[in-house]
Amino acid sequence: MRWALVKVALAVTTMVVVAFAVPLGLVVKELARDRAYGSAERQAATIGPVLAITTDRAQLERAVASAETGPGGRIGVHVPANGRNGGPAEIGVRRAAPADVAAAAKLGRASISPVPGGSSLLQPTAVASGIAVVEVFVPDAALTNGVTTSWAVLAAVGLALVIGSVAVADRLGTRMVRPAERLADAAHDLGRGKLGVRVPEDGPKELRLAAAAFNAMADQVVQLLANERELAADLSHRLRTPLTVLRLNAASLGDTPDADQTRAAVAQLEREVDQIIRTAREQQAHTRQAAAAAGCDAAEVIRERMAFWSALAEDEGRTVRVAGADRPVRLPVARPDLAAALDAMLGNVFRHTPEGTAFAVDVHNAEEAVIVLVSDAGPGIADPDAALRRGWSGGGRGQGPAVTEGGSTGLGLDIVRRLAESTGGDVRLGRSVLGGTEVRVWLALDGRREGPGERRGHRLRRTLGRRGRRATRPGS
């Protein structure tokens, strides 16, 4: 497709350049010719008034010398014979053939006669003794003066237009081809079993839609494989109970050959079931890793969970605000894990703050990290450091969001912390702009980055931390 666009642009632009450049080149040549002959006519016109007054040779030579331009020797005057001298007079240089001069005098109008090295303009003028002819030599160089330069400029402009059109077509083709190539490579990788492959949604609108459809299909494939493997594992576990009964019954059959064969068959069946269970567990682990590698759209998950919790918030008279979830925010975590962490934080807002307490969820998408802020207008947490320790229980209301989960087990923040640390991020507690507690979840977009990239991540974390502290100051 890329080379096809380049060829089309090259052909179209070349035709346009030829269609305009060739006529312009001919016009330039004709203008140069007209300019040369026009200059010759002006020189001939300066001799006409002198011929109308006198045909004296000395005066005509002075008039010719004053009318000469350039190197000189280009003007000649042919005066017919008169009664005093009896012969024609030739002043200046004569290049045209006598027959051409006689023909110009007979016609009574200007004509052009070809001569060696150029051409001569023959301008007849009436004098007392008849018709005099003024001859002005026009060299070939004057006829093409400036034509070569003009043609070179036209050729350069045409070549620049062709090159520019090819470059633009190549860039447009690249913009269209690269997303298509990425989509094709991702399809091949998915066919080879790489379930975590996804395609960036960029390029033209049609390719963006195709990339979104491919990503949705890949997510559906991962989900279907997970369901299939869970079903296989569940069926294998269900076989355990009748298999145990069968093994116990086979053990009570005695020591006959048939009993030994039955016990051997039961043992073989048990080994096969164990192998199925181990395989299903390994595939489940791979599926979960693939889901984490594929990531999820944090904004979509937040909108979905907030739609769920908004109904309860409306019943309790709570004001809810969501910011930053109006555009896609990709995260390298599995969708169920992010949903569980959000439910843990939002559930504890309802559990540990009075009814009518407002809360908010904000998403900040940076270059190397995504920040999820859950804040409320409750009393806050008395000991944030203790709340971050696993198993800590604040007990009762007024402890802020995500302090405890499921009553007083104290594992809510631990779920969030493990999710953040799996990406290389962390969890921090502070005072929110609403007056209560703020839980800041820092999720790195590439937690395994090392070297300079890791140092950039630490600088980004410190910068976001300073911004967060400034935002939570009273009156900010």
What value does the mean pLDDT take over residues 407-419? 64
Instruction: Please give the share of the chain, as a percent, with pLDDT higher than 90.
Output: 4
Does the structure show a pLDDT above 90 at 49?
no
**Minimal CA–CA distance to 125: which of 55, 48, 240?**
48
Give the amino acid at 224.
Answer: L
* pLDDT tens profile 286-295: 555 555 556 7
In a shared domain, residues 331 and 373 = yes
The answer on 426 and 321 residing in a single domain is: yes
Are 319 and 447 in the same domain? yes
Q: What is the CA radius of gyration of the chain?
A: 48
Q: Is residue 397 part of a domain?
A: yes
Pick 256 or 302 by higher pLDDT: 302
* Cα atoms in the 13 Å half-sphere on the side-chain side of 85: 11
Name the nearest CA neighbour of 198 among 206, 97, 189.
189
Predicted confidence at residue 406, as pLDDT, reads 34
The pLDDT of residue 278 is: 66
The verdict on 120 and 245 lying in the same domain is no
Q: Are residues 270 and 378 in the same domain?
A: no
Closest CA to 16 of 154, 168, 147: 154
Interatomic CA distance for residues 152 and 169, integer angstroms: 26
- Per-residue model confidence as pLDDT tens digits over 78-92: 888 765 555 667 787
Could you tell me the residue range of the domain that residue 101 belongs to? 2-143
**pLDDT tens profile 315-350:** 889 999 999 888 888 888 888 788 888 888 888 788
The CATH code of the domain that includes 423 is 3.30.565.10
Cα distance from N-terminal residue to C-terminal residue, the chain: 54
| Mean pLDDT, range 192-210, rounded to an integer | 82
**Choice among 141-155, 279-293, 348-362 with the minimum mean pLDDT:** 279-293
> Of residues 96 and 464, which shows the higher confidence score?
96
The pLDDT value recorded for residue 206 is 83
Q: Are 295 and 331 in contact (CB under 8 A)?
A: yes
Determine contact, residues 272/249, Cβ cutoff 8 Å: no
Residue 459 confidence (pLDDT): 46
Compare 269 and 454 and report the one with higher pLDDT. Answer: 269
The strand pairing partners of 374, in sequence order, are 361, 439
Q: Is 374 left (phi over 0), alpha (psi -120 to 50) or beta?
A: beta
